[in-house]
Chain A
Amino acid sequence: MATLPPIPPPEALPPPRPGRNPLALVVAVLVVAGMLYFGLLMARRPGGHARLTTATVAPDFTLESLDGKSMSLSDLRGKAVLLNFWATWCTPCKIEMPWFVELQKQYGSAGLQIVGVAMDDASKEDIAKFAKDMGVNYPILIGKEAVGDEYGGVPGLPETFFIGRDGKIVDKIMGLKGKGEIEDDIKKALDTGTRASAAIEPVQSQNKQ
């Protein structure tokens, strides 16, 4: 029968450990808190196309216009598209709108189609009144959060994407920039592909509002 080793006398036991190093404890807490923080930040990032870059095909969507019709981005393939996310409460957006009206007139015949997406809690009637007051001559669509997420979350407004005739993103502008910069990006978008392709794939939706 196996015998258990004798229990050592108390004085033979290792001395009790002094208190843990408080600095090590703090470092451990910091590491855990940091991991939690960044983990949650990453989890909150919008999925899908959170990092849209140039040459990425612009995510397609179908949204309702102010006159109740559905409009898809893919309807405009063959045209250069200026896709502008805006809201009625966004004062910088209001500054751009007259520019867009002018640019639509100026470059519409060359194949430009400006599209506004209202990321707004306001009623459709209020959005329509705002657009009418601003003299908007391009389609305004009622935005959805899911579409905003596809375009990187659209954290601030205005945010404008310039999409080439081939459906790829040429450039984007966050916030209000000068009219000249917007016009330069429109020209870049118009320069993609050929006008022939626009003729081959006729645009189904023009000024649907």
Chain B
Amino acid sequence: MNKNPFDTFVIGARKGFQIGINNLLPNVLMAYTISEILKLLGVMEFIGKVFGPFMGIFGLPGEAITVLLTAWLSSSAGAGIAVNLYASGGISNTQATILLPAIFLMGAQLQYMGRLLGVADVPKKYWPALFVTSIVNSLIAMFILKIFA
């Protein structure tokens, strides 16, 4: 170890700032705008009705599926949609807690397909199994938190 902890902290904080500006901010801005479009078009209400029974298994309203669908493309955007839903009264504190691990367990899979499975040369034949496993992981995590949160 050759740096003092203050310098080390600053290196980490700088990484945090970069992630905040380059990743979090554009994704959350997009998520908020998409939420608005879906609300204006009435899609949110429709999704809420259609997925209500399924999401009910996990103690969530139907609209919460938008969090999962978005998280699958980008974790930041998924988190943004969740916050937006919370702010508009769509989900409660408990429901936000239930969603949090799921956002990451099935998060950003489309990106990680290239960045992880592609780079590590995991044979393509097994990719579908890995996708399904991740989604099942999320569902189990939501179920666990439904009981304990």
A and B from one complex: no
Residues of A within 8 A of B (CB): none
